[in-house]
Amino acid sequence: MSNRLRHLGIIMDGNGRWAKKHGFKRNRGHEAGAEVVREITAFCANHHEIETLTLYAFSTENWRRPKIEVDFLMRLISRYLKKELKNYMNNGVRFETIGNLEPFSKELRGTIEKTKELTKNNTKLVQILALNYGARDEIVRSIKKLLQEKKEINIENISDFLDTPYSDLDLLIRTSGEERVSNFLLWQIAYSEFAFTKTLWPDFTTIELEKIIENFKKRERRFGAV
Protein backbone atom coordinates (compact mmCIF):
# COMPACT_ATOMS: atom_id res chain seq x y z
CA MET A 1 0.00 0.00 0.00
CA SER A 2 1.36 3.43 -0.87
CA ASN A 3 1.64 6.31 1.55
CA ARG A 4 -1.22 8.72 1.91
CA LEU A 5 -0.46 12.38 1.49
CA ARG A 6 -2.83 14.35 3.65
CA HIS A 7 -0.70 17.23 4.84
CA LEU A 8 1.92 18.81 2.59
CA GLY A 9 4.25 21.56 3.75
CA ILE A 10 6.45 23.72 1.54
CA ILE A 11 9.33 26.03 2.38
CA MET A 12 9.04 28.33 -0.63
CA ASP A 13 12.60 29.50 -1.05
CA GLY A 14 14.64 31.12 -3.82
CA ASN A 15 12.59 34.15 -4.87
CA GLY A 16 15.52 36.51 -4.41
CA ARG A 17 17.96 34.33 -6.35
CA TRP A 18 15.43 33.90 -9.14
CA ALA A 19 15.11 37.68 -9.45
CA LYS A 20 18.87 38.17 -9.42
CA LYS A 21 19.31 35.52 -12.11
CA HIS A 22 16.93 37.44 -14.36
CA GLY A 23 18.41 40.85 -13.57
CA PHE A 24 15.40 41.99 -11.52
CA LYS A 25 15.07 43.45 -8.03
CA ARG A 26 14.26 40.90 -5.28
CA ASN A 27 10.65 42.09 -5.10
CA ARG A 28 9.98 40.84 -8.62
CA GLY A 29 10.93 37.38 -7.37
CA HIS A 30 8.37 37.59 -4.58
CA GLU A 31 5.72 38.63 -7.08
CA ALA A 32 6.55 35.69 -9.33
CA GLY A 33 6.50 33.45 -6.25
CA ALA A 34 2.96 34.54 -5.39
CA GLU A 35 1.79 33.33 -8.81
CA VAL A 36 3.24 29.90 -8.06
CA VAL A 37 1.41 29.83 -4.71
CA ARG A 38 -1.80 30.28 -6.67
CA GLU A 39 -1.05 27.38 -9.06
CA ILE A 40 0.16 24.97 -6.39
CA THR A 41 -2.86 25.72 -4.19
CA ALA A 42 -5.29 25.02 -7.04
CA PHE A 43 -3.46 21.76 -7.77
CA CYS A 44 -3.67 20.66 -4.13
CA ALA A 45 -7.37 21.60 -3.90
CA ASN A 46 -8.06 19.26 -6.80
CA HIS A 47 -5.82 16.48 -5.52
CA HIS A 48 -7.83 13.59 -4.10
CA GLU A 49 -5.68 13.05 -1.00
CA ILE A 50 -4.26 16.39 0.07
CA GLU A 51 -6.35 17.96 2.83
CA THR A 52 -3.94 20.58 4.12
CA LEU A 53 -1.24 22.66 2.46
CA THR A 54 1.00 24.64 4.78
CA LEU A 55 3.19 27.26 3.12
CA TYR A 56 6.06 29.11 4.77
CA ALA A 57 5.53 32.71 3.68
CA PHE A 58 7.25 34.83 6.38
CA SER A 59 9.38 33.60 9.26
CA THR A 60 9.99 35.18 12.66
CA GLU A 61 13.55 35.72 11.40
CA ASN A 62 12.52 37.45 8.15
CA TRP A 63 12.12 40.76 10.05
CA ARG A 64 15.93 40.93 9.78
CA ARG A 65 15.58 41.80 6.09
CA PRO A 66 15.77 45.42 4.87
CA LYS A 67 12.65 47.36 5.82
CA ILE A 68 11.87 48.04 2.18
CA GLU A 69 11.66 44.28 1.45
CA VAL A 70 9.61 43.55 4.59
CA ASP A 71 7.17 46.33 3.69
CA PHE A 72 6.87 44.98 0.17
CA LEU A 73 6.15 41.47 1.44
CA MET A 74 3.41 42.80 3.75
CA ARG A 75 1.75 44.62 0.87
CA LEU A 76 2.12 41.56 -1.36
CA ILE A 77 0.41 39.30 1.19
CA SER A 78 -2.46 41.75 1.49
CA ARG A 79 -2.77 42.08 -2.31
CA TYR A 80 -2.55 38.32 -2.77
CA LEU A 81 -5.34 37.63 -0.29
CA LYS A 82 -7.69 40.17 -1.82
CA LYS A 83 -7.08 38.93 -5.34
CA GLU A 84 -7.23 35.29 -4.30
CA LEU A 85 -10.67 35.31 -2.66
CA LYS A 86 -12.43 34.43 -5.91
CA ASN A 87 -10.11 31.45 -6.45
CA TYR A 88 -10.49 30.31 -2.84
CA MET A 89 -14.25 30.19 -3.38
CA ASN A 90 -14.05 28.54 -6.82
CA ASN A 91 -11.57 25.89 -5.67
CA GLY A 92 -13.16 25.21 -2.28
CA VAL A 93 -10.15 26.44 -0.30
CA ARG A 94 -10.38 27.44 3.34
CA PHE A 95 -7.73 29.98 4.31
CA GLU A 96 -5.95 29.73 7.66
CA THR A 97 -2.74 31.05 9.20
CA ILE A 98 -0.17 29.96 11.74
CA GLY A 99 2.24 32.32 13.46
CA ASN A 100 1.82 35.36 15.63
CA LEU A 101 -0.14 38.02 13.75
CA GLU A 102 0.20 40.69 16.45
CA PRO A 103 3.07 42.64 14.84
CA PHE A 104 1.20 43.05 11.55
CA SER A 105 -0.70 46.22 10.69
CA LYS A 106 -4.35 46.49 11.63
CA GLU A 107 -5.23 46.64 7.97
CA LEU A 108 -3.41 43.42 7.09
CA ARG A 109 -4.83 41.63 10.12
CA GLY A 110 -8.28 42.76 9.02
CA THR A 111 -7.78 41.32 5.54
CA ILE A 112 -6.52 38.05 7.03
CA GLU A 113 -9.48 37.71 9.40
CA LYS A 114 -11.96 38.61 6.69
CA THR A 115 -10.52 36.02 4.31
CA LYS A 116 -10.67 33.35 7.01
CA GLU A 117 -14.25 34.23 7.78
CA LEU A 118 -15.39 34.24 4.15
CA THR A 119 -13.72 30.93 3.31
CA LYS A 120 -14.47 29.04 6.52
CA ASN A 121 -17.08 26.72 4.96
CA ASN A 122 -14.88 25.60 2.04
CA THR A 123 -13.96 21.95 2.33
CA LYS A 124 -11.65 20.83 -0.47
CA LEU A 125 -8.40 22.11 1.00
CA VAL A 126 -7.13 24.06 3.98
CA GLN A 127 -4.40 26.42 2.81
CA ILE A 128 -2.37 27.55 5.80
CA LEU A 129 0.01 30.47 5.37
CA ALA A 130 2.78 30.59 7.96
CA LEU A 131 3.06 34.32 8.72
CA ASN A 132 5.52 35.65 11.26
CA TYR A 133 5.87 31.99 12.03
CA GLY A 134 8.65 30.29 13.94
CA ALA A 135 8.30 26.79 15.29
CA ARG A 136 10.15 27.59 18.50
CA ASP A 137 7.87 30.55 19.10
CA GLU A 138 4.83 28.35 18.42
CA ILE A 139 5.95 25.68 20.90
CA VAL A 140 6.67 28.27 23.60
CA ARG A 141 3.27 29.89 23.08
CA SER A 142 1.60 26.48 23.32
CA ILE A 143 3.28 25.68 26.63
CA LYS A 144 2.44 29.14 28.01
CA LYS A 145 -1.23 28.59 27.19
CA LEU A 146 -1.15 25.17 28.88
CA LEU A 147 0.33 26.71 32.02
CA GLN A 148 -2.26 29.49 32.01
CA GLU A 149 -5.05 26.94 31.82
CA LYS A 150 -3.30 24.75 34.41
CA LYS A 151 -3.22 21.78 32.04
CA GLU A 152 -0.75 18.94 32.17
CA ILE A 153 2.36 19.27 29.98
CA ASN A 154 2.29 16.22 27.74
CA ILE A 155 2.63 15.48 24.02
CA GLU A 156 -1.06 15.48 23.28
CA ASN A 157 -1.73 18.76 25.08
CA ILE A 158 1.27 20.53 23.54
CA SER A 159 0.04 19.39 20.10
CA ASP A 160 -3.49 20.59 20.81
CA PHE A 161 -2.32 24.05 21.83
CA LEU A 162 -0.08 24.65 18.83
CA ASP A 163 -1.25 27.00 16.07
CA THR A 164 -1.64 23.86 13.96
CA PRO A 165 -3.81 21.31 15.65
CA TYR A 166 -4.39 20.22 12.06
CA SER A 167 -2.09 17.17 11.89
CA ASP A 168 1.48 16.05 11.48
CA LEU A 169 3.11 16.79 8.18
CA ASP A 170 3.43 13.86 5.78
CA LEU A 171 5.78 15.51 3.32
CA LEU A 172 7.98 18.59 3.54
CA ILE A 173 9.37 20.14 0.36
CA ARG A 174 12.00 22.87 0.25
CA THR A 175 12.92 24.55 -3.01
CA SER A 176 16.09 26.44 -4.04
CA GLY A 177 18.66 23.82 -3.06
CA GLU A 178 18.92 24.76 0.62
CA GLU A 179 18.63 21.69 2.81
CA ARG A 180 17.55 23.10 6.14
CA VAL A 181 14.34 23.62 8.10
CA SER A 182 14.81 27.31 9.08
CA ASN A 183 12.47 27.07 12.08
CA PHE A 184 9.46 25.78 10.12
CA LEU A 185 7.11 23.23 11.79
CA LEU A 186 9.63 21.51 14.12
CA TRP A 187 7.05 19.67 16.21
CA GLN A 188 4.90 18.52 13.28
CA ILE A 189 7.77 17.12 11.18
CA ALA A 190 8.87 14.51 13.70
CA TYR A 191 8.08 11.74 11.18
CA SER A 192 7.73 13.65 7.92
CA GLU A 193 9.37 12.67 4.68
CA PHE A 194 11.61 15.34 3.17
CA ALA A 195 12.12 16.36 -0.44
CA PHE A 196 14.65 18.96 -1.51
CA THR A 197 14.79 20.39 -5.01
CA LYS A 198 17.23 22.83 -6.58
CA THR A 199 14.38 24.54 -8.44
CA LEU A 200 13.88 28.14 -7.33
CA TRP A 201 10.35 28.75 -6.02
CA PRO A 202 9.18 30.96 -8.95
CA ASP A 203 10.16 28.13 -11.33
CA PHE A 204 8.42 25.39 -9.34
CA THR A 205 5.58 23.68 -11.23
CA THR A 206 2.75 21.26 -10.62
CA ILE A 207 4.60 18.79 -12.87
CA GLU A 208 7.56 18.76 -10.50
CA LEU A 209 5.21 18.50 -7.54
CA GLU A 210 3.57 15.46 -9.13
CA LYS A 211 6.98 13.81 -9.50
CA ILE A 212 7.87 14.49 -5.88
CA ILE A 213 4.54 13.04 -4.75
CA GLU A 214 5.09 9.96 -6.89
CA ASN A 215 8.45 9.41 -5.21
CA PHE A 216 6.92 9.99 -1.74
CA LYS A 217 4.29 7.33 -2.47
CA LYS A 218 6.98 4.69 -2.95
CA ARG A 219 8.88 5.37 0.25
CA GLU A 220 8.72 3.10 3.24
CA ARG A 221 7.54 4.97 6.33
CA ARG A 222 8.22 2.99 9.47
CA PHE A 223 7.41 5.29 12.39
CA GLY A 224 9.92 3.43 14.50
CA ALA A 225 8.45 -0.01 13.93
CA VAL A 226 10.03 -2.78 11.83
The partner in contact with residue 180, picked from Mg ion, ligand IPE, none with C-beta cut-offs of 5 to 8 angstroms by kind, is: ligand IPE
CB-nearer residue toward ligand IPE: 125 or 130: 130
What character string, x for contact with ligand IPE (CB under 6 A) and - otherwise, covers 66-85? -------x------------
Q: Which element (helix H / strand E) includes 132?
A: strand 125-133
| Phi/psi at 66 (5° precision) | -55, 145
163 lies in the site for Mg ion, by CB under 5 A: no
Q: How crowded is residue 162: how many other Cβ atoms within 10 Å of its Cβ? A: 19
Q: What's the rounded Cα separation, in Å, for the pair 79 and 31?
A: 10
| Identified binder of ligand IPE from the candidate list 5, 7, 9, 13, rule CB under 6 A | 13
134 lies in the site for ligand IPE, by CB under 6 A: no
Residues in CB range of 93: below 8 A, 6 or more apart: 41, 45, 87, 119, 122, 124, 125, 126, 127
Q: 9-48: which residues touch Mg ion (CB under 5 A)?
A: 13
- Is 13 tagged catalytic? yes
| Identified binder of ligand IPE from the candidate list 3, 6, 17, 143, rule CB under 6 A | 17
Q: What's the rounded Cα separation, in Å, for the pair 82 and 74?
A: 13
Applying CB under 6 A, the residues found at the interface with ligand IPE are 11-17, 56-59, 62, 73, 176, 178, 180, 182
Active site residues: 13, 62
